[in-house]
A and B are shown apart, each in its own frame.
Chain A
Amino acid sequence: MQNNVLGVLKEHESKLLTIWSQILLDSGSGDGAMEEEESKEFASLFLTALAKSDEKYENSQEFEKVQDLIVGISSSRGKRGFSPRENGQYLISFKEAASQILSELIDDPAKLYDANLKLSTILDNMMIMTFEAFMKGREDVISRQVDEISEISTPVITVWDGIVALPIIGTLDSSRTQTVMESLLQQIVDTGSSIAILDISGVPAVDSLVAQHLIKTVSATRLMGAECIISGIRPEIAQTVVHLGIDLSGITTKASLASALQTAFEMLQLAVVKKRKIVE
């Protein structure tokens, strides 16, 4: 008992839990049942580890388990939308609750100081891990979203038999252009289309790099044996292109998707005719 000052906390687990959840509730960073479950598990595992370990409270297998748990908890809290502050608050409140109990248990100031210091070291270390895990959880979310965006951002639409259209929305960068080019060419092969319309009305700005990418895409489509029309060029973009001195003369460009489709029909020797009204 003398050696393991922090081990005594195990005997006051339920009290600690009550104080802890009260502090969490007061700080407004709790979210109900799920958290209670997590807290219970963490407190029990942590206090058991404390009780079982030696004076130095390190190199223990029990602590590894606790660390795994807290890493899991914090990354799940990150995914549930907690702010980093709230996440940090979680362990700080635990420390607060624990030292409150310690001060009730230990009368000797020197001993109390020593116990608190040890507790702080362990918990601070854990807090760093928590932040790392929290960040990682957030990064996972972001990278998943990036993947999703790049997947949904290149929809190739078959607008007519032999005509595919690809509306590009958002900024074009190298990796995105690569995906755009690949999916467009693949779709041309799959559908056997001979005309591709690239609609850039959703592209906010065109710089020389983007124009370069567009020219490359058009060249690649030509190599495949299809014709490429670029549509949806806004006046500002036309201005920028000319100011940058980019030569788009070899590329068929149209102002709107409708006129691009019209051109495509002409190329395929198709005509859209209005049905004659039946006169009664």
Chain B
Amino acid sequence: MERIPILKMGDFLLVTIQVDLYDQLAENLESDLINTISKHSSKGVLIDISAVSIIDSFMGRILGNIAVMSKILDAQTVVVGMQPAVAITLVELGLSLNGVISALNVERGMDLLRSKMHISDNEEQEYDDDNE
């Protein structure tokens, strides 16, 4: 069965969607991704949708679900490279994907994830300091 590859890059997972998603594929991606996050205890997920030109409400919901699920597993989701038409469609559908952080391209998405990690590391350190 066709699957979308999930690449592990250190603490992050990188998913590049190169084909038009149909519902089954999207559902598989969702479960695969969540399993991989819990397996590697990843800290961040980067989903590149720059090649996706058509999106529907189902796909929008899947993206939102992935974000919420990863959040529960303590991983931050960043969606990168959204096409203007896709963004307009999502807004018109009333899906603002509030839990999802976006970035313009993979590079910036990575920076964003790293800075988020950095902040949470600092917070932990501060917390440790307080304990001492």
Spell out A's residues near B (CB within 8 Å).
Answer: 178, 181-182, 185-186, 188-189, 192-194, 216, 219-226
Contacts and interface: CB of A to CB of B under 8 A. Distances in A.
Interface stretch (B28-36, B83-91, B120-128): B83-91
A22 B103 CA distance: 74
A192 B105 contact: yes
A182 B112 CA distance: 25
Given A182-B88, A225-B82, A219 B96 contact: yes
A220 B105 contact: no
B91 A223 contact: yes
Interface of B: 79-84, 86-88, 90-92, 96-97, 100-105, 108-109
Given A225-B80, A225-B82, A225-B109, A220 B104 contact: no
A224 B128 CA distance: 36
Contacts of B103: 225
A216 B92 contact: yes
Contact of A220 (B79, B81, B91, B101): B91
Contact of B104 (A178, A194, A219): A194
5 contacts: A220-B84, A220-B88, A223-B87, A223-B90, A225-B101
Contacts of B91: 216, 219-220, 223
A81 B81 CA distance: 50
A223 B109 CA distance: 13
Given A185-B87, A185-B88, A224 B108 contact: no
Contact of A188 (B79, B80, B104): B104
Given A193-B104, A225-B103, 19 more contacts: A178-B88, A185-B84, A188-B84, A189-B83, A189-B104, A192-B104, A220-B84, A221-B87, A222-B102, A223-B96, A223-B97, A223-B102, A224-B82, A224-B84, A224-B87, A225-B79, A225-B80, A225-B109, A226-B104
B11 to A, nearest CB: 21
Contacts of A219: 91, 96
A185 B87 CA distance: 9
A222 B96 contact: yes
Q: Which 6 pairs between the two chains have the least Cβ-Cβ distance?
A: A185-B84, A225-B102, A225-B103, A223-B87, A220-B87, A225-B104
Contacts of B80: 225
Contacts of A222: 96, 102
B112 to A, nearest CB: 8
B66 to A, nearest CB: 15
